[in-house]
Every structure is written in C-alpha cells, then in structure tokens.
Amino acid sequence: MKRLLYSTLLGLLLCQEGRASAPDTSFITPFEVSKGRQTATYEEAMSFYKRLFARHRTLMIGDVGITDAGLPLRAVYYTADGNFKKEDWKKANKVVVLINNDIHAGEPDGVDASMMLIRDAVTNRIQVPDNIVLVVVPMYNIGGALNRNSHSRANQNGPESYGFRGNAKNLDLNRDFTKCDAAETQGLEELFARLSPDIFIDNHVSDGADYQHIMTLLASQHDKLGGEVGEYMYKTLTPLLYADMKTKGYDMVPYVSDFNKTPDNGWREFYESPRFASGFAALFQTFAYVPETHMLKPFKDRVIATYALMNSFIKVASEHAAEIKQARANDKAALLTKKEFPLEWTVDTTRFDTIEFKGYEAGYKPSKISGQPRLYYDRNKPYTKKVPFYNHYIPGKTVTAPQAYVIPKAWVSVISCLRSNGVHITRLSQDTIMKVTAYHIDNYETIGHPYEKHYLHKNVQVTPGTINMKFTEGDYFINTNQGTRRYLVETLEPTAPDGFFAWNFFDGILQQKEGFSDYVFEDIAAEIVDNNTDLRKKLAEKRKQDPEFAKNGAVQLEFVYRNSEYFEPSVNRYPVYRID
C-alpha cells in the first residue's frame, strides 16, 4: 500500500487508477499512455525532452558527443534556479547527480523513470532541492535502442518491445570504461571529467535468481573505493537510501550477484573492476550506484521502483550534501600524496553483514526438454530469512605510484583515453635522455576467445629495471600529482587487471621483428661466446641444468642471440616508463 501511495507521483498512469491528477497531456510519456506496458523509443524520448526544454527554463539539453550509431549523445540538465554554470555549482557546494540510462538498451527502466522524474521536477510535481543538480543521459546506448525487438531479453517480464544489449558495434558498453572502444564511452567519460559528479547512478535490470524484492542495489565496493568516501558510503549513505526506500514500501537488498547457486545462503558482493561503470567512477572518488530491478517483476512495477529510488537519491543527497562534498574533497586531497595503490582485491570470507532476504524456496524437478533435473523457484513458498552478505574485500597486489609516466608519441590511442578522462598531459619540447624505470614483460596469459573485441591478458609478470632512455620532442609527460592519479595507476601499470596492457593496447611490443639465419649466425655466436666470459658461464650452466636445452642446438643458438647486442631491446619492453 505504501508503494501504491508513493506512486501517485507518476502522472497519467496512476491518474487512470484514480490516484493522481493528470499533468499537462503534452508531457505524458509512452510508458504512462500504455499503462506501463511500453518503453519510449529513441525518437519519442528525444522529442519529449526537447518539448520540455522549450517550455521550462530550469532545463537544458547539451551534446555529449557522437555515438557509434552516428547520432548525437545528449545530456539533460536540471537545476531549480535555472543556473547551468558549473563554476557556480561549485561555489554553491551543490551535489551533482549524474544518471545514466540504457547502457544495456534491453533494460530500459531508467529511461521511462527519468522522463517522468525530469517532467515532474520542471512542472513542480516534485520538489528537487536547490542544492541538487540533476544530469540525465536519457539513452546512452542509442545503437542498441534503435535495434528494437521483443525477444532478446528471454528472461525479462516486459516491456512489450525494447532495445538490444550491444551497441552499433555490438559492444557491451558496461565493459568499455577502461578500453574506451565505443564513441559513446569517450563522450560519457569526457562528460564525467567535466562534471566530476558526486553521485553516479547507472540504471539496470537484473538477471539471475528469483526472489520477492523488486529493487536491488549495487554500491561501489566500499573497501576498494576506500578513504572517507568508502567509509561514508558503507556506514551512512547506503543505509539511508535503504531506509528511505523502506518508507515507500520497498525492501531493497544488495544486488544478488551469485548466478550459479540459489541465494538462500547469502552471496558475495559484486566486484566491479574499472571496466564497469561503477568501478570506473570509483577511480575518481565518486559515490557510484547501480540500481538493478528484478527482471521477473512486471515492467510497470520496475519503472515505478526506479522512479522511487531516484527520488530517494535526491532526498538523501540534499539532506547530507555537506558530508558528501566534504568526504570527496578530503579524499581528493589525500589522493595527491597517496603512495600505494592496490590493483587486485579478494573477498574476505571471514566477515559479512547479515541482511533480511525475502526469497522463494528452490527445488529441482525433471526438465520437459531434457528429462534431467532443473532448478525452479516455488512462488507459493515465500520465505523471509537472515542471510550473510560477504561485502568486505582484502587488497592483494599493490603498486607504488611514480612521480610521472612518460609515453612515446606513437601510442596515440592510449593518450586519447587519458585525455577523455581529464588527465593533464604535457609534451616534451626537445629530445632528451631520462633515467626511467622500464618494465620487461616476462610472462602473461591470454584468454582463448574474443571478449568485447579483445583477447584479454591476465596474470601478467614483469621485471622492472632502471635504464637511460632517449625520448624525442613531442613525447608525452604525465605528472601523477593530479586528481586522476588513481586512474593513471590503474590503467598504465602493466599488471593492472583492467589496464591498457590487459586490453591489448600495447600488443605490438610482444612480437619480435628481427631474427637471424642459423648458418650465418653460428660463426658470429661463437665469437660472441669466446669474448664474453659471463655469457659463456650462463650458457654452460643452462646446459647443465636443462638436459633438453643441452641437446637442442637451435635453442642454444637462440639463447646466445637473445643475450647479445643483436637482439632488439624493445621486445617485451613495456612502452610506458616511470620516473620514480
């Protein structure tokens, strides 16, 4: 009943149920007209916002960039006073809330909820406080939205038609935030860098287990987020959101992320690395959340729940604006002197929070397809029980931030990603020799199938060494004493699981370009060994320790070649250099 009372804010849909007066009929959404069965098309959503913009001075529409679909990516801005100057927002200590929708265009709940939210704000059906700035990306994955169908979300209960998960290049945009392959990603990251949002919301629809909850919430993992922001998020901000949603009739639980088993014994908190929206936002000390409505609930109920949650974000952010801003400011200041940065995290299975979970009993019965046992949930057997939520993580491998990175000018794709994220870069004015730390890539594994247009490297092993390196005019010099310090470390370090090396940006260095003819090099190699006592000893020791090596003349010749001045030094030398 509380949820129904709260949903009186939603215009015509509930007006038809006798619970609210209708707003201006020119601003009724397709969701409301269809009584909760349809989501807006791209054309309908853009037309809706343009008509709102023409009538209300508290609204502004701005271009973010061009998408892979060839259409513009846009952001809608709302402020109660109609002031859209970012410098004034900063002076007034306003909380900037960035809401992203349709990253997966088959999960459109946020599209329709945001249309109604902005409509209700500009028409004063809801009051957005003066200290809040709303920035909404109406449809992020426009290519996916245009690829409209009714069957690609096989497990989802509505709407009647919707977009597709992949963008125009068939990329999953929620795996693209590090590698930045999509034009959409570049545009959104540039917007993010300009706004430095205090809160980032990326609206989704969940898959997985069946349970009673309509809304689940993924919050940035607080240990990984770290600092005052991580602590405040975990202890204060997220609990306040849960409490406010409960007053509206919604018992939220954390995002149910264990897909291979039933959740009745609890689950682990989702680990969002920087390839994901929330993991990316965490690199910039932003409070990041991913609302995940439950796919088996009716579309109408999911959209209303999303609307309710966005209002809770507005209310809580306004009431606690000072603490939110202060936590971010303190962490940004501390970042500039932070030395050690974890690159890997593992769940702490000894610690957990206890949450109240409302599920359905699960069982197994013969499959009508295979005859084999299949999982099912019995909605006639609901239960409420306390379960463990393993939401503490332990840092693993760490790296010390250098004073600066130096990148030769050939690697323009990396520089493009850095610039999209607001990294301050200077260029060398003349040729120079610098003493730098250079990594040698000793070993790595590569997945055997394409993943989001790449063959990811993992388990990377490196050896650092100090060398005098010649750089030329125009090479890139990046001082890490800037607000993007954490982003720089987690993308430029070669052992970072979501760094540029992992995503194949530097694969050219992994291939040897020159070689030798055995019969010619034999005489040269003999002379090298005769004149190099250390190499002669290394060769003898290698023969002694490795019988197979001792029997293979070609391999021994290669050993001498690789330990001679003829072997090209650039092979496996990582082309991002540290000044420590």
Structural domains of the chain, ranges and CATH numbers in brackets: 2-257+269-335 (3.40.630.10), 400-580 (no CATH)
Calpha distance 523→355 (Å, rounded): 74
The pair of three-digit structure tokens given for residue 443, joined into one six-digit string: 């070993």
Calpha distance 249→412 (Å, rounded): 51
* C-alpha dist (Å) from residue 93 to 227, 230, 310, 319: 20, 20, 20, 13
Q: Predicted confidence band at 458 (pLDDT cuts at 50, 70, 90)?
A: very high
**pLDDT score recorded for residue 261:** 86
Backbone angles phi, psi at 156, to 5 degrees: -105, 140
More confident position, 122 or 25: 122
Question: Does residue 503 have a pLDDT over 50?
Answer: yes
pLDDT digits (tens, 9 = 90+) for 359-384: 999 999 999 999 999 999 999 999 99
pLDDT digits (tens, 9 = 90+) for 2-15: 444 344 444 444 44
CA angle 6, 138, 16 (to 5 degrees): 35
**pLDDT score recorded for residue 258:** 79
Calpha distance 420→188 (Å, rounded): 9
List, in sequence order, the alpha helices (H) in 10-123: 12-15, 30-33, 42-55, 86-91, 109-122
**pLDDT score recorded for residue 25:** 63
Beta pairing class for 72-79 and 59-66: antiparallel
Question: Does residue 128 have a pLDDT over 50?
Answer: yes
Question: Does residue 23 have a pLDDT over 90?
Answer: no
Span 25-53, average pLDDT:
95
Query: What's CA 81's distance to the chain center, in Å?
Result: 32
Decide: 553 and 525 in contact? Cβ < 8 Å: no
Write the CB contacts of 558 (distance below 8 Å, at least 6 apart in sequence). none
pLDDT digits (tens, 9 = 90+) for 531-562: 999 999 999 999 999 999 999 999 999 999 99
β-strand partners of 439? 464
- What is the pLDDT of the chain when averaged over all its residues? 95
Decide: 120 and 56 in contact? Cβ < 8 Å: no
As to burial, measured by CB atoms within 10 angstroms (0-12 exposed, 13-18 middle, 19+ buried), residue 261 is: exposed
Write the CB contacts of 184 (distance below 8 Å, at least 6 apart in sequence). 65, 67, 68, 73, 140, 141, 142, 167, 173, 176
Calpha distance 202→97 (Å, rounded): 11
Q: Predicted confidence band at 479 (pLDDT cuts at 50, 70, 90)?
A: very high
Count CB neighbours of 464 within 10 A. 12
Residue type, 561: Y
**pLDDT score recorded for residue 174:** 98
**pLDDT score recorded for residue 486:** 98
pLDDT digits (tens, 9 = 90+) for 273-323: 999 999 999 999 999 999 999 999 999 999 999 999 999 999 999 999 999
Task: Specify the DSSP element, H or E, that contains 159.
Answer: none
pLDDT digits (tens, 9 = 90+) for 73-123: 999 999 999 999 999 999 999 999 999 999 999 999 999 999 999 999 999
* C-alpha dist (Å) from residue 429 to 1, 471, 549, 575: 68, 10, 49, 19
Q: Predicted confidence band at 65 (pLDDT cuts at 50, 70, 90)?
A: very high
Longest CA pairwise span in the chain (Å):
97
**pLDDT score recorded for residue 466:** 97
Calpha distance 573→575 (Å, rounded): 6
List, in sequence order, the alpha helices (H) in 248-298: 277-282
**pLDDT score recorded for residue 440:** 97
Span 198-209, average pLDDT:
96
Backbone angles phi, psi at 75, to 5 degrees: -125, 145
Residue type, 573: R
Span 44-56, average pLDDT:
97
Q: Predicted confidence band at 24 (pLDDT cuts at 50, 70, 90)?
A: low
Calpha distance 141→174 (Å, rounded): 10
CA angle 94, 97, 103 (to 5 degrees): 165
pLDDT digits (tens, 9 = 90+) for 423-440: 999 999 999 999 999 999
Cis preceding linkage at 159, omega within 30:
yes
Percentage of the chain exceeding pLDDT 90: 94
CA angle 166, 172, 178 (to 5 degrees): 150
Task: Specify the DSSP element, H or E, that contains 240.
Answer: helix 238-247
**pLDDT score recorded for residue 21:** 45
Query: What's CA 558's distance to the chain center, in Å?
Result: 43
Buried b (16+ CB within 10 A) or exposed e, 317-340: bbebbeebbebbeebbeebeebee
The pair of three-digit structure tokens given for residue 408, joined into one six-digit string: 């030769």
Q: For the CA atoms of the chain, what is the radius of gyration?
A: 28
The pTM (predicted TM-score) of the whole model is 0.94
Calpha distance 519→557 (Å, rounded): 10
